[in-house]
Chains A and B, each alone.
Chain A
Amino acid sequence: MSTPAFAAALVPALVWIPLSLGALSFVLGRAASPWLVLPGLLATAGVVPALLPLAAPGGIAAYHLGGWMPPLGIAWRLDGLSAIMLAITAIVSAGVGIFASSMMNRMDRQSEWFWPLLLLLIAGLNALFLTRDLFNAYVTLEIVSLAAVALVTITGTSAPIVAGMRYLLAALAGSLSYLLAVALLYARYGTLDFDLLATVMQDDPIGMLALALATAGLFIKSALFPLHVWLPPAHGSAPAPVSAMLSALVVKAGFYLLLRLWFEVFAALDSLAAARVLIGLCGAGAVVWGSMLALCQQRLKPLLAYSTVAQLGYLLLLFPLAEVVSAWQGTLILVCAHGTAKAAMFLAAGIILRAYGHDRIIAIGGAARGVPLTTFALGLAGVSLIGLPPSGGFAAKWLLLVAAFESGRWWWSFVPLGGGLLAAGYVFIILARAFEAPSADTGDFAQVPRVAELAALALALVSFMLGFAGNAVAIGLDSAIAEMTRS
């Protein structure tokens, strides 16, 4: 039944379903929201598998907004890389949606803003992963950032408001930097289409300045070291389902656009080798700095937030190793493995916060007995973060190691190896406390909905099982990698 024409017609549905449901749930308010939104969220997620065949080589689906063709119109296209990002967005948002619908009933009044903003965020992410136009990408980035900041501040208490304000100003500076790059490129080449730009791109100062501005802007938006300082307070103080969406997906959006810029639009430029090494060094810095600060945290959510800073560093190792196919495989598996693992851990942190009324790591003794499923989810996701076999994180880091040796630049292998040790440090800090007996200051223990625990566990299982599915995943990645490395 899933003919290519039918499936291609579904491509815009990935954006209009969440967008229209978001608007509807805003109008209807709290009463209708979870019961209206959750089926829509799952329907959006259900569209993705129907689209995956289109992402195979030669089956790329294009959609031209309003029927206008580039250079005047805006093209959307579903290719392998888009399909991976859409799939991980669908999985994580379905898990977060199920978690939030079971936990939200008892949350305060502000929760009525949660569903419209969540759907707006998903619509923005899906549009970003489809677009082939630099300015359209700017618009979708703004939708994502605005929805993300609003979600951080949703409880209206002081810590998230301060963190959200910092996040908003940082995101604003980042997007203006990106917009300036768009202006320069349009002035120089008269087009904004990724493919048309790639064919006319020349090695000149204007292009370099544009790439530098866009990269700096996206580094801020993705909280890539050393422009990450806004992230830990924002992800650490937001409600758990929001932190899960932000750490799993929103920070990857800027990274995704970096890949499009560096390996499609600017792929033909040979003079970028030194800059790619520099980006790789930023990645190494992120792994070390983020992990060290994660080790110093007293509370669970800030620890996870610093861990996100660290894990994003691995993704940047792709830049100096990009000519090796296994570097692409490793990076794309890591995007999926980290996304699901970190979402699972933030949801688990939300459950612990509900059960204990706090998330101080030193006082979560008894969690293994009180919320066993949640502790199991933390453990599974933690194994994937560290990169122990046979998890998805292991497959990703193994492929990055292979890439470092294959390229002959073996010194990059120290980053995943050392980072794994540091990650083991902070994951075991959590697990050791969770398996302790409850201490005197643990306090009372509140009941937690079983569905919420299962949602966290399901996401952790996906992250863990990615390692078993390594071969199938690698084959699925081949089309994405073939497109990105063809030049």
Chain B
Amino acid sequence: MTGHSLIYAIAGALMVGIGLRALFLQAHLLTKIIAANVTASGTFLVLVGVAPFNGGAHPDPVPQAMVLTGIVISVSITAYALALLRRLYDVTGATDLPEERRK
């Protein structure tokens, strides 16, 4: 039972790694926003994966409640980031940050 859910936790940790790599190395802001979402999903997977039973016979509802809250936050931040990116494009014509622009 623990081994079963550990797969999710390990997959989550991998997703966090993949997401963070893209978040730091990709210049295009849309890619960065998607990467942040991958990282967030990975974190949620770790949350539900590492503590599913916590000693009892029934699944622990607290991590699930936390993940639901986390998804709401993630959706609103993504929506705001996308709106900001559109505005950035309208005002400057760029889709990346000046310090990461390829010469």
Which residues of A approach B to under 8 Å, CB–CB?
72, 135, 139, 142, 146, 149-150, 153, 156-158, 161-162, 164-166, 168-169, 172-173, 176, 179-180, 182-184, 186-187, 190, 192
Contacts and interface: CB of A to CB of B under 8 A. Distances in A.
A166 B88 contact: no
B91 interface: yes
Interface string B74-92: 0011001100110110011
Contact of A190 (B39, B51, B97): B51
A164 B91 CA distance: 13
B99 to A, nearest CB: 8
Contacts of A72: 62
B contact face: mostly helix, strand, loop, or mixed:
helix
A176 B29 CA distance: 18
Contacts of A153: 84, 87
Contacts of A182: 47, 66
Given A139-B69, A183-B43, A187-B51, A168 B62 contact: no
17 contacts: A135-B66, A142-B73, A146-B77, A156-B91, A158-B91, A158-B92, A162-B92, A162-B97, A165-B97, A166-B97, A172-B81, A173-B36, A179-B40, A180-B46, A186-B47, A186-B50, A192-B62
Interface string B14-43: 001000100100000100100010011001
A169 B73 CA distance: 14
- Closest 4 pairs (CB-CB, A-B): A187-B50, A187-B51, A183-B47, A158-B91
Contacts of B3: none
Interface size class of B (residues with CB under 8 A): 20 to 34
Contact of B80 (A150, A183, A192): A150
Contacts of B98: 162
A187 B63 CA distance: 9
Contacts, number: 89
Contact of B43 (A156, A162, A176, A187): A176
Given A135-B66, A149-B80, 18 more contacts: A142-B73, A157-B91, A158-B92, A165-B85, A165-B88, A168-B77, A168-B84, A169-B32, A172-B81, A183-B46, A183-B47, A183-B51, A183-B63, A184-B50, A186-B47, A186-B50, A186-B63, A192-B62
Contacts of B73: 139, 142
Contact of B84 (A164, A180, A184, A187): A164
Interface string B45-57: 0110011001100
Given A135-B69, A173-B23, A183-B43, A156 B87 contact: yes
Contacts of B51: 183, 186-187, 190
A contact face: mostly helix, strand, loop, or mixed:
helix
Given A149-B80, A187-B51, A190-B51, A161 B87 contact: yes
A146 B16 CA distance: 22
Nearest to B91: A158
B40 A168 contact: no
Given A139-B69, A153-B87, A165-B84, A146 B76 contact: yes
A168 B88 CA distance: 13
B53 to A, nearest CB: 10
Contacts of B70: 179
Contacts of B16: 176, 180
Pick from A168, A184, A192 the residue with the most CB of B within 10 Å: A168
B62 A186 contact: yes
A163 to B, nearest CB: 10
Nearest to A134: B66
Contacts of B46: 180, 183-184
B42 to A, nearest CB: 9
A142 B77 contact: yes
A97 B91 CA distance: 29
A234 to B, nearest CB: 12
Nearest to A190: B54
A168 B97 CA distance: 12
Contacts of A162: 88, 92, 97-98
Contacts of B62: 72, 186, 192
Contacts of A166: 97
Contacts of A142: 73, 77
A156 to B, nearest CB: 6
A150 B87 CA distance: 12
A141 to B, nearest CB: 10
Contacts of A158: 88, 91-92
B68 to A, nearest CB: 11
A176 B36 contact: yes
A162 B85 CA distance: 9
B34 to A, nearest CB: 12
Contacts of B54: 190
A156 B83 CA distance: 11
Given A180-B16, A186-B62, A190-B51, A146 B80 contact: yes
A166 B91 CA distance: 16
Contacts of A169: 23, 29, 32, 36, 81
Nearest to A145: B77
Contacts of B36: 169, 172-173, 176
